Amino acid sequence: MVTMDEIVSLCKRRGFIFQSSEIYGGLNSCWDYGPLGVEMKNNIKRLWWKANVQLRDDVVGLDSSILMNPKVWEASGHLTNFADPMADCKVCKKRWRTDQLSEYKCPECGGELTEARMFNLMFKTFMGPVEDESAVVYLRPETAQGIFVNFLNVQQTMRKKLPFGIAQIGKSFRNEVTPGNFIFRTREFEQMEIEYFVKPGTDEYWHKHWIEQRISWYYKLGIRKENIRIREHGKDELAHYAKACVDIEYLFPMGWSELEGIANRTDFDLSRHQEYSGQNLTYFDDETKQRYIPYVIEPSAGVDRSLLAFLVDAYENQKIDENDSRIVLHLHPAIAPVKAGIFPLLKKEELVKKAKEIYNNLKYKWIVQYDESGSIGKRYRRQDEIGTPFGITVDYQTLEDNTVTIRDRDTMEQVRVHIEEIIPYLEEKIEV
Ligand code: ATP
């Protein structure tokens, strides 16, 4: 299996992910997505949005603000409960989250730990020029609350009937005690969340539905089945308001870890917001003529963790024969940052002209790259390493019959295709 070091090194070498503020020595656990990383991240977000909003009649989108009225966090329970226990090592001074330790001693040097104290994970800042208590606001630690507080706005303006969902993608911030494992746990990250509102009593059905939907999304985008598993939370682990919670876990280089959580949150959130805001957040059910607060199922995924899982799953250091090997990312074409490389076989004027024509045409549809430098074999390998699924080569036969070769990244086999057939050929393999 690929190591995290190999992934980090590929990401830096090929422009997927850089350390934040690197020229100043970086900033702990903060990362910047480079030209290829941002394309891949956008693809993941778009594919999530397509599956969960565009293709579903019962889910609509939202983009709420990161800063919210502090009362939101009082109502949600984050101000009092969103805290982890931490302790310091008396010997090496390292800090640990004590609920993640198997023994109550420093995992690094075995030293004795201080007594555990609770630490709230929300980032605090001030709104406006005066830095006093009344100006305190928080960076949201999840996107979900922006959805709950807009429940009525969305339900009424979109005239939605239960069951229906609201989806949101956006940045969240948590002052994690022990960030790490590259982009797996950071203090600034992106979430893709759905709050799916249902009639109480149908919640278990919908919980199962969303678990199936979300797992099949990862499968469809090429994640290997043996690297995904489901873990149900034990009663002792469940948040006090949740009826059930299931984690979709992925086999990351450091072991099985959470990729996404899917919780049955009952009517906890809307009830609390009703209580704290004094607004009536009940739903009127036309069929039963009853008013009630809906239950909610919450599939909550991390963009960065998904991206890491897709990279880990796709990475292969492949031995081709005795003297030859290549690094290849077997990314699903829909996720790959660059869809095709376009190459003139040689740097000859007629070939270059034709290849550029194809490139200029394809770039209206996808991110593609034109490359004329180095041997054709080297150019293919460069694209293999960034997961480009197709290599399109213009050769002398192209000038005679308007056909090109299209090389498949995984099999390395080539087919000849008429120039006018390039787009439908790629489309069929890229679109999901
Ligand atoms: P963990 O137990 O790993 O801290 P969590 O259970 O607190 O995660 P949730 O609150 O369920 O996480 O958040 C939903 C999703 O958001 C997670 O499954 C993960 O993909 C993502 N996520 C949460 N915290 C982070 C983080 N610090 N860095 C990157 N992604 C995160």
DSSP symbols for 267-333: THHHHHHHHHH-----EEETTTTEEEPPEEEEEEEEHHHHHHHHHHHHEEEEEEETTEEEEEE---T
8 Å CB contact between 403 and 395: no
Q: Is the CB of 31 under 6 A from ligand 1?
A: no
| 301 C-beta closer than 6 A to ligand 1 | yes
Minimal-distance CA residue to ligand 1 atom 16: 302
Round to whole Å and give the CA distance between 412 and 395: 17
Strand 283-285 relative to strand 340-344: parallel, antiparallel, unpaired? unpaired
Asked if residues 417 and 321 have their Cβ atoms less than 8 Å apart, the reply is no
Structure-token match 């590929």, residue found: 10
Q: Is 300 in the pocket of ligand 1 (CB under 6 A)?
A: yes
The edge-to-edge listing of strands for the beta sheet with 414-418 is 368-370, 340-344, 390-394, 403-408, 414-418
Tokens matching residue 250: 């992925």
Distance CA 11, CA 20 (A): 13
Q: Is the dihedral of CA 411, 416, 421, 422 positive or negative?
A: positive
CB distance 186 to ligand 1 below 6 Å? yes
Residue 306 CA to residue 308 CA, distance in Å, equals 5
- If you take atom 6 of ligand 1, which residue's CA is the nearest one? 261
Beta bridge partners of 368: 340
Domain ranges of the chain: 4-82+142-311, 338-430
Residue nearest to ligand 1 atom 29, measured at CA = 185
Same fold, 4-82+142-311 and 338-430: no
Nearest atom (ligand 1) to Cα of 263: 11
* Nearest residue (CA) to ligand 1, atom 8: 258
Query: Does the beta carbon of 191 sit less than 6 angstroms from any atom of ligand 1?
Result: yes
Ligand 1 pocket, residue 188 CB under 6 Å: no
416, 401 Cβ separation under 8 angstroms: no
Task: Say which CATH architecture domain 338-430 belongs to.
Answer: 3-Layer(aba) Sandwich (3.40)
Q: Is the CB of 260 under 6 A from ligand 1?
A: yes
Residue indicated by tokens 């002209």: 353
Rounded Cα distance, 431 and 21, in Å: 36
CB 258 less than 6 A from any atom of ligand 1: yes
Q: Is 185 in the pocket of ligand 1 (CB under 6 A)?
A: yes
Paired tokens of 223: 């994640």
Pocket test for ligand 1, best of 189, 218, 307 (most atoms within 8 A of CB): 189
CA distance 223 to 220: 7
- pLDDT tens by residue, the chain, 432 residues: 899 999 999 999 999 999 999 999 999 999 999 999 999 999 999 999 999 999 999 999 999 999 999 999 999 999 999 999 999 999 999 999 999 899 999 999 999 999 999 999 999 999 999 999 999 999 999 999 999 999 999 999 999 999 999 999 999 999 999 999 999 999 999 999 999 999 999 999 999 999 999 999 999 999 999 999 999 999 888 988 899 999 999 999 999 999 999 999 999 999 999 999 999 999 999 999 999 999 999 999 999 999 999 999 999 999 999 999 999 999 999 999 999 999 999 999 999 999 999 999 999 999 999 999 999 999 999 999 999 999 999 999 999 999 999 999 999 999 999 999 999 999 999 999
- 250-261 burial by CB neighbour count: b if 16+ within 10 A, else e? bbbbeeebbbbb
CATH of domain 4-82+142-311: 3.30.930.10
Please, are residues 20 and 33 in contact by the beta-carbon 8 Å criterion?
Answer: no
Ligand 1 geometric centre to CA of 343 (Å): 42
Nearest-atom number in ligand 1 for the CA of 257 is 3
Distance CA 348, CA 395 (A): 10
Nearest to 188 by CA among 149, 132, 141: 141
303 Cβ closer than 6 Å to some ligand 1 atom: no
